[in-house]
Structure 1
């Protein structure tokens, strides 16, 4: 039986499709997603979504229909996941981090007690708009997964790619596990112990990176952050290490209880470096101000892992974002996980999930020969 999903529900963007295909692959459930990105202009699949869907289909030997640019309906019928080496390239500046997001859950679990290392070679944009910058993934997302879920991923940034050229490349090594992900409780943020950051310019004057870093530092100090806790590196990308020109800054705060919260901004034509630095600092300060244990971006990215974990996970967060509500909706449609939301005060919510304790059970009837490789 094919499970029907309305792709225009709640946030109604590409995140819904990414989470749905990842969970369908893990649970071996056929899905049909309609009205994909119905509220976007233009609606339907972009090359990035096509590449992500094809990547997961390759990993789980799925039959995939409707995976074409502009398509507003996609049918995904998985068979059996094969761990191994995979690659994806949308041929645009589409985000490499979003390609990683859709494929990571499918490569986490093995039927063997001996861990398997799968590799991903992903091309496209590394620091793109409307997607996590690779520096955020490296310094916020991956450390959180490692600390609270025991997920082991090694990231190698081979070349940075900026809009509109793309051309960046990252490689990732993902260590599989046989046991379910552990549940966790993270209920107190604790004091900020360090704020780190990376301010960069590629194909542009180094002064831009320095100005963004200095402006961000000043804004953080004005917001009450101890200057001795701030460490922001400003640099100009070396020739050959990036494609295209771009600039931006990523900040992240570390706390005594293991929380990591971020803030970031990208440079754009007509936008001063002072404005970029201020934007990133203001975003981090806003995420710190609500007192939750994750920022607004990490909040929705951890939902799928909470749903897969064994037992009850609890985390104190800021106001629930529409992306988070969408991720919860998808998880409850495709798994037995159940979420509860309890308002603590005007700014904070206690988010609980009774996870599925997912283990991978091999589908022998769906096994197929060969495992994709790349050189």
Structure 2
């Protein structure tokens, strides 16, 4: 059984979720201590409970210590079990973060696996559902993954009630080298609100266009005002992405009480413009999240503007479980990350 210090590096919930996923994939038991020790409220929150519980279901795991605010668990996987699953976080905890724990496990299954997750689809400190649909899932598909995601209903803080559905069919992941961004094919976006004035979505959209500068004339950003049937509670988000022949770059913000719509749109526009100007292959958030999928594929590489502590923590953890090494270098103002199989060293 591997011992993982949950306070290592970034020390957040990602380390816990990824540890459970890698344990399920490799069959290696894991003991995680000091879970979220540096947070204001240390230990397991409802969405962390839901993520570990969900991964445990996919591998028939024996789990000890799985309780609210617990700072230590043991996770002992048995065998992977494909099939159909339904998971309800019970709060506005992020469905996308729960999916981040489940998706790597689903991708190594030898039969079709389908999950339905209920909770918050667009909440703070988590990628909005549209970011996964329009950026992350499409990047993963370039590794030959057979994965489809649908947003069935949106849900926001504090009640949640949003629903997503994800289906993964068996496929062998292949290594991919994400090259420089290249020629722009399209700039797209979605600004949506529910039970909020229509002008909020329009203001988010306009702020993105303004901050995109020379790229703004090419952008096509859709605004949506959703009905009660399409969403639960008041909320919204803005997600933008740029497409080239090689890759996709994205940025996102979730509407927050007390934060101007313009500030959200400006942040998205500035990030997209900076990524385009740098010719990076992946945005900072995708660079963090794609690490485990490239590792499962056994190789690959990408460039990005900067590498987060989140990403460095994920690299350290993945190397504990899988026979790969991450090489990180800097050249021409970009960070270059390469996944190297250890057998080739």
TM over 0.5: yes
113, 116, 128: which one pairs with 2:123? 128
**Structure 2 unmatched ranges of 5 or more:** none
1:238 and 2:215 are equivalent in the alignment:
no
Counterpart of 2:10 in 1: which secondary structure?
Answer: coil
Q: Deviations over 1:138-162 (max 9, x none)?
A: 0000110112x11121112111001
Distance 1:242 1:110, change over 3 A: closer
Moved more, 189-198 or 281-290: 281-290
Distance 1:226 1:284, change over 3 A: closer
Q: Deviations over 1:274-296 (max 9, x none)?
A: 22221221222233343311111
Moved more, 154-163 or 74-83: 154-163
1:183 and 2:175 are equivalent in the alignment:
yes
Counterpart of 1:81 in 2: which secondary structure?
Answer: coil
* Equivalent pair of 1:21/1:102 in contact (CA under 8 Å): yes
1:169 and 2:163 are equivalent in the alignment:
yes
TM-score by length of 2: 0.96
* Structure 1 counterpart of 2:318: 331
Larger radius of gyration: 1
* Equivalent pair of 2:89/2:117 in contact (CA under 8 Å): no
Shift of 1:243: 0.6
Please report the RMSD computed on the Cα atoms of aligned residues, expressed in angstroms.
1.5
Distance 1:290 1:67, change over 3 A: farther
Distance 1:86 1:355, change over 3 A: farther
1:92 and 2:87 are equivalent in the alignment:
no
Alignment of 1:9-88 (within 5 A): 9-88=8-87
**Structure 1 unmatched ranges of 5 or more:** 358-375
* Equivalent pair of 1:253/1:260 in contact (CA under 8 Å): yes
Shift of 1:200: 0.9
* Equivalent pair of 2:177/2:302 in contact (CA under 8 Å): yes
224, 228, 251: which one pairs with 2:240? 251
1:224 and 2:210 are equivalent in the alignment:
no
Shift of 1:255: 1.7
* Equivalent pair of 1:60/1:79 in contact (CA under 8 Å): yes
